[in-house]
Amino acid sequence: MSKRLRSSDVCADCSGPDPSWASVNRGTFICDECCSVHRSLGRHISQVRHLKHTPWPPTLLQMVETLYNNGANSIWEHSLLDPASIMSGRRKANPQDKVHPNKAEFIRAKYQMLAFVHRLPCRDDDSVTAKDLSKQLHSSVRTGNLETCLRLLSLGAQANFFHPEKGSTPLHVASKAGQILQAELLAVYGADPGTQDSSGKTPVDYARQGGHHELAERLVEIQYELTDRLAFYLCGRKPDHKNGQHFIIPQMADSLDVSELAKAAKKKLQSLSNHLFEELAMDVYDEVDRRETDAVWLATQNHSTLVTETTVVPFLPVNPEYSSTRNQGRQKLARFNAHEFATLVIDILSDAKRRQQGSPLSRSKDNVELILRTVSNQHSTESQDNDQPDYDSVASDEDTDVETRASKASRQKSLDSDLSDGPVTVQDFMEVRSALVASEAKIQQLMKVNNNLSDELRIMQKKASRLEKQNSTPESDYDNTPYDTEPDDTVPNRKGRQRSVVWPGDGSLPDPAEPHLVPSPTLPSTEDVIRKTEQITKNIQELLRAAQENTHDSYIPCSERIHVAVTEMAALFPKKPKSDTVRTSLRLLTSSAYRLQSECRKALPGDSSLPTDVQLVTQQVIQCAYDIAKAAKQLVTITTKENNN
């Protein structure tokens, strides 16, 4: 079911027109740009769905529409509605603001920090506790006032609160009253349809007794939402719960080939406690949501420009409520390729059905194959780069960066020990199953945007030709002074934090400038920069075609041509550009070209550092190409703007 947008609908975060996404748990509609920030925060902060291109349970969409139409956004922006907030300098983002940092900072304050939510007074003699709020929620869900319940939930009321006097949860009350939208809201906030009250009845029982058949059917769907979503992801079908079918276990053509290692790993999966198994299943559910939303995101974005401020989310963002180990395991799910991830999903579906039905461990010969790869080469590669985390920090990851590094080192030591001893541990299972990053989607994304860059450059070139010809010639090359900091630490889809690297002393770039030189304000002409950017873009397109066609022997010559083009473009600029933005873009351009050459060399068959799967090299190559293209685009934009002035 798709929503019919009204012309009066605006983004809840920046007031931009025609929002095409919804934040389900916040009850708001949001635009593409703001949605990109929501996604980077993680599902524990905001659960996003596209209003037209994502399948919606009808009552869930109705719930979000009702909240939006009844001013749910005022819950999250309560203090901003106070005229005093204008005096204090606090304001809402607007459509003209940049995504980073303006919109991103506002959205984080609004939803992650809850900076604008109304705070109830908490005095020693009149404190409002979570228990008090939960009791109010328990009473309020019998009515149709959704925004009141959302406000209570935003203040800390618990959706699964068990009322000691009433002997029931809010979902029992809502189900008995036939309040299907309240049930949807409670379920979004974690209410369990299978919970029994003091009489042993579930919310489904109360819905059926009250004749609320649609609600009863929906509660059953919610109860099986996790396994239904996993099955739908693989085969596009959901079980027929009305007729007693609660699980669909898709089959794979090569499911009969089961190695001894695969059997051992499956046995360990089956031996997990219910609690640990549920955690793993929820993490896989979140990864399914990330992959499906990425697919919608790529299909609906405007790829007319090379780089935008909004990108895909390359792995699950950090949830601070989870341990560092679990967060790292969640992020590693992005390293499964399509076949490996499908296999894991099938294994979880199979074991979920077994656990739900109370069946003994299966010894069947037709269990689905677990695609397992040895990780010794991956370990040797990681040991060479042991001071860097697997992924860049995102959202709330800043505070856990040190913990992440320490956890990785201790986990690596433990893993090596376990592998040498032979037995397969649960952690081994997660490590080994993690395979390597599937880079196909990233290739497709970058190919799409690169194919349109030439048109964009031609347009800019026409504009530049109308400008007065710039006769200034840079007297020296770009300063190549070493930097120890990240050249551009805000790239949203960077997978790993890497230090800037300087060019080696091979004579390809001039020596660093003397410190006594005064920064030069002179910039090259826009036409010259565009011409060099076109050459860089052409070479990047050749590299991407090589990646797409798996012709890895073409990586090095392509990277060398890109290196030459980058060097020529950097030489257009003075050693000491006056603009910080120009310096930053040049650093990103040159350091990324150097990293690109380094990564491409790893694709050589004789290279001992080659990982188990060349896809990891390809992913890093694509990332470097992305950074080079981003920097080139920035330099074109800067010079056009400066020369136009």
pLDDT exceeds 50 at position 309: yes
What's the confidence (pLDDT) of residue 126? 44
Lowest pLDDT segment from 63-67, 358-362, 439-443: 439-443
State the CATH architecture for 130-223. Answer: Alpha Horseshoe (1.25)
Indicate the average pLDDT of the chain: 75
Most confident of the following: 267-271, 385-389, 433-437, 555-559: 555-559
Q: Which superfamily is assigned to 21-112 in CATH?
A: Arf GTPase activating protein (1.10.220.150)
pLDDT exceeds 60 at position 373: no
- CA torsion 403→407→409→410, rounded to 10°? 130
8 Å CB contact between 523 and 639: yes
Tell me the per-residue pLDDT of 606-645, one tens digit each, with 9 for 90 and over.
654 444 456 677 777 888 888 888 888 888 888 888 877 6
Q: Which of the pair, 36 or 5, is modelled with greater confidence?
A: 36
Q: What is the C-alpha separation between 296 and 37, in angstroms, rounded?
A: 16
Q: Which of the pair, 586 or 481, is modelled with greater confidence?
A: 586
What's the confidence (pLDDT) of residue 323? 87
> If pLDDT is split at 50, 70 and 90, which confidence band does 190 have?
very high
What's the confidence (pLDDT) of residue 316? 95
Q: In sequence order, which ranges of 109-259 are alpha helices (DSSP H)?
A: 130-140, 146-155, 170-176, 180-188, 203-209, 213-223, 225-235
Q: What is the C-alpha separation between 571 and 508, in angstroms, rounded?
A: 10
Coil, helix or strand for 26? coil
Q: What is the C-alpha separation between 449 and 164, in angstroms, rounded?
A: 58
φ/ψ bin of 374: left (φ > 0), alpha (ψ from -120 to 50), beta (otherwise):
beta
What b-and-e string marks burial along 328-349, b requiring 16 or more CB atoms within 10 Å of the CB?
A: bbbbbbbbbbeebbbbbbbbbb
Q: What is the C-alpha separation between 283 and 333, in angstroms, rounded?
A: 8
Q: What is the C-alpha separation between 181 and 415, in angstroms, rounded?
A: 47
8 Å CB contact between 16 and 36: no
Q: Which of the pair, 366 or 614, is modelled with greater confidence?
A: 614
Task: DSSP letter for 609, please.
Answer: T
Q: Which of the pair, 502 or 362, is modelled with greater confidence?
A: 362
What's the confidence (pLDDT) of residue 525? 86
Tell me the per-residue pLDDT of 68-121, one tens digit each, with 9 for 90 and over.
999 999 999 998 887 766 555 578 899 999 998 899 999 999 999 999 998 776
What's the confidence (pLDDT) of residue 407? 39
pTM confidence score:
0.59
Q: Which of the pair, 221 or 368, is modelled with greater confidence?
A: 221
Mean pLDDT computed over 176-197: 97
Task: DSSP letter for 7, please.
Answer: T
The first and second tokens of residue 72, run together, are 């749910």
| CATH assignment of 440-644, among 3.20.20.70, 3.30.830.10, 1.20.120.330, 2.40.50.100 | 1.20.120.330
Mean pLDDT computed over 385-394: 38
Q: What is the C-alpha separation between 313 and 394, in angstroms, rounded?
A: 10
Report the half-sphere exposure of 610 (CA within 13 A, side-chain side): 14
Tell me the per-residue pLDDT of 415-463, one tens digit each, with 9 for 90 and over.
333 323 333 333 333 443 343 333 344 445 555 555 555 555 556 555 5
Q: What is the C-alpha separation between 322 and 407, in angstroms, rounded?
A: 13
User: In percent, how much of the chain has pLDDT > 90?
Assistant: 40
Q: What is the C-alpha separation between 490 and 492, in angstroms, rounded?
A: 6
The first and second tokens of residue 197, run together, are 């009250």
**Sheet containing strand 48-50, strands side by side:** 28-30, 21-23, 48-50
Strands 48-50 and 21-23: antiparallel
Mean pLDDT computed over 352-368: 63
Q: Tell me how far the alpha carbon of residue 591 is from its chain's centroid.
A: 25
8 Å CB contact between 412 and 382: yes
User: How buried is residue 327: exposed, middle or buried, by Cβ count under 10 Å (0-12/13-18/19+)?
Assistant: buried
Mean pLDDT computed over 600-611: 63
**CA-only gyration radius of the chain, Å:** 27
Amino acid occupying residue 386: N
Q: What is the C-alpha separation between 270 and 468, in angstroms, rounded?
A: 72
* Domain spans, the chain: 21-112, 130-223, 260-433, 440-644
Tell me the per-residue pLDDT of 454-510, one tens digit each, with 9 for 90 and over.
555 556 555 555 554 444 433 333 333 333 333 333 333 333 322 222 222 333 333
Which H helix or E strand runs over 22? strand 21-23
Closest CA to 332 of 225, 324, 542, 635: 324
pLDDT exceeds 90 at position 211: yes
Q: What is the C-alpha separation between 169 and 167, in angstroms, rounded?
A: 7
Coil, helix or strand for 55? coil
Q: What is the C-alpha separation between 619 and 438, in angstroms, rounded?
A: 8
Show Cβ contacts of residue 10 under 8 Å, excluding neighbours closer than 6 positions.
16, 17, 19, 29
What's the confidence (pLDDT) of residue 461? 55
Tell me the per-residue pLDDT of 322-350, one tens digit each, with 9 for 90 and over.
988 899 999 999 998 888 888 889 999 99
Mean pLDDT computed over 168-191: 98
pLDDT exceeds 50 at position 550: yes
